[in-house]
Structure 1
Amino acid sequence: MARVTLQTIADQVGVSRMTVSNAFSRPDQLSPTLRDKILAVASELGYVGPDPAARALARGTTGAVGVLLTESLRDAFNDEVATTFLGAIAEELTPTGLGLTLLTATDREDVVPARDVAMDGAMVYSCDPSSSAVDWLIRRRLPLVFIDQVPADGIPSVNVDDRPGARAAAQHLVDLGHRRIAVVTSGVRGAHGLLPVGAVIPGGATDEGAAVIDGYVAQQRILGWLDALAPAGITPPVVRLAHGRPEDGYDGARIILAQDPRPTAVLCFSDAIAQGVVQAAYDLGLRVPEDLSVVGFDDSPLAARMRPPLTTVRQDVLAKGRAAAAALTRAIAEARAGAAPTPDQVLVPADLIVRESTAPPA
């Protein structure tokens, strides 16, 4: 079968090749009747439209933006916060015609999505800033937006106001009368483990060779918790998890609840971790909140489904996604116009939501 081209359709309709091209890419240049006739002939001949690669080359754009994730795509799709965030971005981008491409960081030299995938711009979402993938995006001079990252000069950023939110969560437990309060958090790197007293954590003392709390979000939340705990004279035992899945929270809780004396309350990096903590408490014969108060972070749909419903800190994930998409489309437009990026730093509020998983200590 002969290959159908724009010229084939033009010859069939009796118009110029440019007129046929306009029917697909600039429909406002044609009358509705003529455009409908061209599209009908194209359909009859089996022509689906201009080649996307050729069109991108002609325009100098790809029509795609990347979202760089440190975690695997499987973990991202199992995380309700991440899927809600990505959905908000996709919805905001729909009117612009831009599509979403998910990128994962990789150590392989032959496959480097951040280096090799064609895109008009990218979002860096809660990634290790030392990752080579982040470095590749910067070196490519792509329009960028950082989300849940340390703000960088000249790059727009969108963050949650994690520190005040975490402070409110810890203060809630202090006000209830808790003094044995533990922390189960998540880091970018490292295995499960109880951090030694004096470990390198923001706002805390240091111990040479001790583990560190990795990741900007984890650091901000630790700072917020300590803002409320330190004035009350509370030094919390801290368990750091390599990942943030419920099963990781379960493992972390088994470590923290083995402490003597056992904590009466636990502050969790996320609702997913809190779910694992609650399950571990039940398996140990503890009641929530009578024997153990648990506080999450995010206010994901999971928080309200849990039994008891989870006290948590709400971040507006939809607003964060919309803000990230708007910042990137603006950065792309500025780059096309040859203008310097507007390095706005958006801060999404974080508010304490008190439910039934917290109570005064027995």
Structure 2
Amino acid sequence: MGRRVTLQTIADRVGVSRMTVSNAFSKPDQLSTGLRREILAAAHDLGYVGPDPAARALARGTTGAVGIVLTSSLRFAFTDLVATSFFGAIAERLAPTGLALTLLTSADSGDIIPARDVAIDGALIYSCDPTSAAVDYLTRRRLPLVYVDQEPLETVTTINVADRHGARAAARHLLDLGHRRIGLLMSGMHPPHGLIDPADVTIDGYAAKQRLLGWCDVLGEAGITPLVARQPGANPEEPRAAARLLLDRPDRPTAVLCFSDATAHGVLRAAVDLGIDVPRDLSVVGFDDNPLAAQLRPALTTVHQDVEAKGKAAATALTRAIADARAGVAHVPQHHVLPAELVVRDSTAPPPR
């Protein structure tokens, strides 16, 4: 086995001090470009990859990583188009800072509780049950936190979308077209799968609550009681099955407002199954304006939220909170609300006569 390579080994090779070699890795701005290049070349030649990250983190009192906490399974982060765009924007904004992303589920896994046990400098709480143990652990750890798509709190910086405003615009669009029999297809509701009396609806998730409130603001003013169904989970087939509860009936709605574009896709598929033409027989409105919305046939009328801007705002807010914590400065929480605007495409039209 060869001799262990240390900072002193490299220092001896180049003819500089051990501290100068250390600075080449940790404080590159204190060295000339030429000297740093010479030190790194010597390190590479000797097979040295750099200081141990764990030891460096211990010395600095930082981990170089931030967490994103999800209520749902981590698979959601890689399969949901809105989530992947959101995480991509966060990663892009964090790249220059050197901070790494760590995805954390709020569920416990045996003896390991991610929110309690994983070393991170701060966390984004994304569309997560605020009463979950994960949020409690992170709060008790006194880590810098930023909430995204969560109920705003005075003590935590929050990034939200104007979901209620966007939902109002969607419902008003259908009323302006002449629709009066309107269905809602939701996610995160209780009771379980089935048709639901709107008066009995209980909703999990801040965004879902705001969207329902926006729809009901407009429909209630018009004296319309919508027919409501829910999808019980995130499986792609579940919105399709839930949509059939709304559509496979003699008094079916002439329009459906959907919690998301993924949910709206399920409605479009159910309409094909039942021989219902969109938009001649049925109008469909989504929410999010994910990349799929414009590619569907017919192209989906939906409410646009700028997911890229939301991700970048979240990353910026978290890095600022972490910087304040490191500097011992009191962080002033802020509440950011990003716009949500209706995008009219081909999936909506006046109701059939």
In 2, are the aligned partners of 1:154 and 1:341 still within 8 Å (CA)?
Answer: no
Aligned to 1:20: 21
Q: With structure 1 as the length reference, what TM-score do the two structures score?
A: 0.94
Residue aligning to 1:249: 239
Distance 1:10 1:214 in 2: 59
Counting only pairs closer than 5 Å after superposition, residues 113-128 of structure 1 correspond to structure 2 as 113-128=114-129
* Partner AA of 2:154 in structure 1: D
**Which residue number corresponds to residue 75 of structure 2?**
74
Separation in 2 of the partners of 1:356 and 1:303?
Answer: 10
Q: Which of 175, 189, 214 matches 1:224?
A: 214
Q: Give 1:338 deviation, angstroms.
A: 1.5
Deviation of the 1:103 alpha carbon? 0.8
The equivalent of 2:37 in structure 1 is 36
Q: Residue deviations 1:191-237, cap 9 Å, x none?
A: 4222235214xxxxxxxxxxx22111110000000011011111111
Aligned to 2:337: 347
- Alpha-carbon shift at residue 190 of structure 1 (Å): 6.4
Tell me the matched-pair count: 351
> Would you say 1:132 and 2:133 are equivalent positions?
yes
- Aligned equivalents of 1:216, 1:83: Cα separation in 2: 20
Q: Is the 8 A contact 2:258 2:285 kept in 1?
A: yes
- Provide the secondary structure at the position in 2 that maps to 1:325: helix
In 1, distance between residues paired with 2:42 and 2:109?
47
Q: How far off is 1:33 after superposition?
A: 2.9
**How far apart are residue 72 of structure 1 and its match?**
1.4
1:325 aligns with 2:301: no
C-alpha spacing 1:197/1:225, structure 2 compared with 1 (3 Å) = closer
Q: In the alignment, residue 315 of structure 1 is paired with which amino acid?
A: Q
Query: How far apart are the structure 2 equivalents of 1:189 and 1:231?
Result: 24
- TM-score between the two structures when normalised by the length of structure 2: 0.96
CA contact (8 A) 2:108 2:114 kept: no
Residues 152-163 of structure 1: pairs in structure 2 closer than 5 A = 152-163=153-164
Q: Which residue of 1 aligns with 2:347?
A: 357
| Partner amino acid, structure 1, of 2:169 | A
CA contact (8 A) 1:244 1:273 kept: no
How far residue 245 of structure 1 moved from its aligned partner, in angstroms, is: 4.6
14-23 or 161-170: which moved more? 14-23
**For residues 338 and 251 of structure 1, what CA distance do their matches in structure 2 show?**
53
Report Cα offsets for 1:148-184 as digits up to 9, x if no partner.
0001121000000000100000011111111110000
| Superposed counterparts of 1:1-362, under 5 Å | 1-187=2-188, 191-200=192-201, 212-362=202-352
Counterpart AA for 1:264: T
Quote the RMSD (CA, aligned, Å): 1.4
Q: 1:109 deviation in Å?
A: 4.7
Give the Å deviation of 1:337. Answer: 1.6
Q: Within 1, Cα distance between the matches of 2:208 and 2:247?
A: 21
* Aligned mates of 1:230, 1:196 — CA distance in 2: 14
By how many angstroms is 1:342 displaced? 1.7
1:34 Cα deviation after fit = 2.4
The code of the aligned residue for 1:281 comes to A
Aligned residue type for 1:41:
A
The amino acid across from 2:203 in the alignment is I
Which consecutive unaligned segments of at least 5 residues does structure 1 have?
201-211
User: Could you tell me how far 1:79 is from its partner in structure 2?
Assistant: 0.9
Question: In the TM superposition, what whole-angstrom CA distance separates every residue of 1:282-330 from its partner, at most 9, and x where no partner exists?
Answer: 1101000111100000011110000000000000101101110111011
Q: From the superposition, tell whether residues 86 and 188 of structure 1 become closer, same or farther in structure 2 (CA, over 3 Å).
A: farther
Counterpart of 2:167, as a letter, is A
Deviates more, 1:157-166 or 1:183-192: 183-192
**How far apart, in 2, do the equivalents of 1:165 and 1:244 lie?**
22
Secondary structure (helix, strand or coil) at the match of 2:134 reads helix
Task: Quote the offset at 1:41 in angstroms.
Answer: 1.5
Q: Shift of residue 15 of structure 1?
A: 2.0
Query: CA shift at 1:189, angstroms?
Result: 7.0
Residue identity matched to 1:227: D
Amino acid at match of 1:138: T
Taking the aligned partners of 1:56 and 1:173, their CA distance within structure 2 comes to 55
**Distance in 2, Cα, partners of 1:308 & 1:128:** 35
Amino acid in structure 1 at the alignment position of 2:121: D
Q: Distance in 2 between matches of 1:65 and 1:259?
A: 49
Instruction: For residue 102 of structure 2, give the secondary structure of its aligned residue in structure 1.
Output: strand
Q: Distance in 2 between matches of 1:188 and 1:197?
A: 11
Aligned equivalents of 1:230 and 1:244: distance in 2? 29
Change (3 A) 1:108 1:188: farther
In the alignment, the residues of structure 1 paired with residue 90 and residue 175 of structure 2 have an alpha-carbon distance, to the nearest angstrom, of 37
Other structure's SS at 2:203 match: coil
